[in-house]
């Protein structure tokens, strides 16, 4: 549980709190709502010196990879600050390129870890697509056609890691594959660029007879879906930690507000109705955090955690939505004014319920996992 952490993780958390106070907050106070390249550079340099930058990078690249529990604790803590500069504390991780070798390592993974290239993950298909994105083996090439939608960061990416259904030249099915596609390859086109409610940028793409080397397949043919889902599972836990930290920020913010003097003559926190709402916010946050930390431990154990990460993601993000909503209600109309901390979180919390799997889709998968596959624990 959150209050029963290993001594080593407690020590790292204290170090992170010190880093926030000495590096993140002073820079954030100077920057305001926007962040400059100079401040981002200062955060990265300070993070490298403190050792946080390397916790998401593999040991073979010189990283000091942290456990899932440790990363969860840190991500929750950084999210609790509600400061944009915390997004730059950790270095780029391998993502779906984990453990690749040869040309994929030298041409993509290594440059990503050095910060020289950026990739994007292409999984979602548009509802209007006539068929799922497919690739046909042609000698030492794979010719890809299809569409992908909602590719986060795709507009600024150097390459795309896309889930593709692979067919042999004779029409035989070879299963799914994760394939690296250069953003500038002939036949790759951005159909639409758009910004979602939380301010994040996305694109939809079309692949028209895009020819890539067969060596751009990550792993083996037939491994695409498991690799994609493993990557998504990691990100779901990261999103859950973000949601948990968001709840804690709101609780801190609202506690200060309801303890402050009020025009009625007594603090809002003295009113029974306010206390009941505040208590509900704390109860839900406590349960969400307990689930988050337990799931992080399950992941670290090496056991199958697909259903656990899905359940945690659903509960954490929906809890964040309710907690932020109650926070807005307790603060009043000013909380919806552009630029107010709760206005920003209101948009972000709503978006989290769609990121890495919409809540209802994950509910269906959770039920299927137990009823049809016998997976998942309580």
List, for residues 305-342, the tens digit of each pLDDT value. 999 999 999 999 999 999 999 999 999 999 999 999 99
pTM for the whole thing?
0.93
Strands 201-213 and 141-152, by their bridges, are antiparallel
The answer to whether the beta carbons of residues 144 and 207 sit under 8 Å apart is yes
pLDDT value at position 171?
85
- pLDDT tens by residue, 139-159: 999 999 999 999 999 999 999
pLDDT value at position 312?
98
Number of neighbours of residue 257 by Cβ within 10 angstroms: 19
pLDDT value at position 6?
94
Q: Which two three-digit tokens encode residue 371? A: 């009823």
pLDDT value at position 34?
73
pLDDT value at position 264?
84
pLDDT value at position 33?
63
Helix (H, G, I), strand (E, B) or coil at 6: coil
Which of left, alpha, beta for 196 (phi over 0: left; psi -120 to 50: alpha)?
beta
Measuring CA to CA, which residue among 312, 242, 304, 255 is closest to residue 281? 255
What distance lies between CA 277 and its chain's CA centroid? 29
- pLDDT tens by residue, 18-47: 999 999 999 998 766 678 899 999 999 999
Residues sharing a CB contact under 8 Å with residue 241, sequence separation 6 or more, in sequence order: 71, 72, 75, 76, 79, 292, 316
pLDDT value at position 32?
63
- C-alpha 287/C-alpha 279 separation (Å) is 12
Low-confidence residues of the chain: pLDDT under 70: 1-2, 31-33
How deeply is 349 buried, as exposed, middle or buried, from its count of CB atoms within 10 A (0-12, 13-18, 19+)? Answer: buried
- C-alpha 300/C-alpha 163 separation (Å) is 26
The answer to whether the beta carbons of residues 11 and 24 sit under 8 Å apart is no
């Amino acid at each position: 549980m959150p209050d029963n952490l290993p001594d080593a993780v407690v020590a790292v958390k204290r170090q992170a709190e010190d880093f926030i106070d000495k590096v993140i907050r002073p820079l954030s106070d100077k920057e305001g709502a926007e962040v400059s390249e100079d401040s981002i550079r200062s955060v990265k340099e300070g993070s490298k010196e403190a050792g946080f930058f390397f916790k998401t990078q593999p040991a073979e690249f010189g990283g000091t990879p942290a456990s899932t529990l440790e990363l969860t604790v840190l991500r929750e803590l950084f999210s609790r600050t509600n400061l944009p500069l915390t997004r730059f504390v950790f270095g780029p991780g391998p993502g779906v390129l984990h453990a690749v070798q040869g040309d994929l390592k030298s041409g993509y993974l290594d440059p990503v870890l050095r910060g020289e290239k950026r990739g994007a993950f292409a999984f979602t298909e548009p509802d209007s697509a006539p068929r799922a994105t497919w690739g046909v083996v042609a000698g030492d090439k794979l010719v890809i056609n299809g569409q992908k939608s909602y590719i986060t960061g795709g507009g600024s990416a150097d390459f795309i890691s896309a889930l593709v259904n692979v067919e042999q030249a004779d029409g035989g099915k070879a299963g799914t594959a994760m394939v690296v596609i250069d953003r500038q390859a002939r036949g790759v086109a951005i159909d639409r660029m758009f910004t979602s409610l939380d301010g994040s940028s996305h694109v939809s793409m079309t692949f028209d007879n895009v020819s890539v080397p067969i060596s751009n397949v990550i792993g083996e043919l037939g491994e695409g879906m498991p690799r994609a889902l493993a990557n998504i599972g990691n990100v779901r836990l990261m999103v859950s930690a973000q949601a948990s930290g968001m709840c804690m920020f709101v609780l801190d913010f609202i506690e200060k507000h309801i303890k402050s003097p009020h025009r009625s003559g007594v603090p809002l926190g003295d009113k029974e109705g306010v206390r009941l709402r505040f208590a509900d916010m704390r109860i839900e946050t406590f349960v969400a955090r307990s689930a988050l930390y337990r799931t992080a431990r399950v992941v670290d154990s090496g056991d199958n955690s697909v259903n656990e990460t899905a359940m945690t993601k659903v509960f954490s993000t929906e809890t964040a939505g309710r907690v932020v909503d109650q926070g807005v209600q307790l603060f009043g109309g000013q909380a919806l004014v552009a630029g107010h901390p709760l206005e920003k979180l209101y948009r972000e919390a709503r978006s989290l319920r769609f990121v890495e799997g919409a809540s209802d889709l994950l509910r269906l998968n959770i039920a299927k996992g137990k009823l049809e596959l016998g997976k998942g624990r309580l």
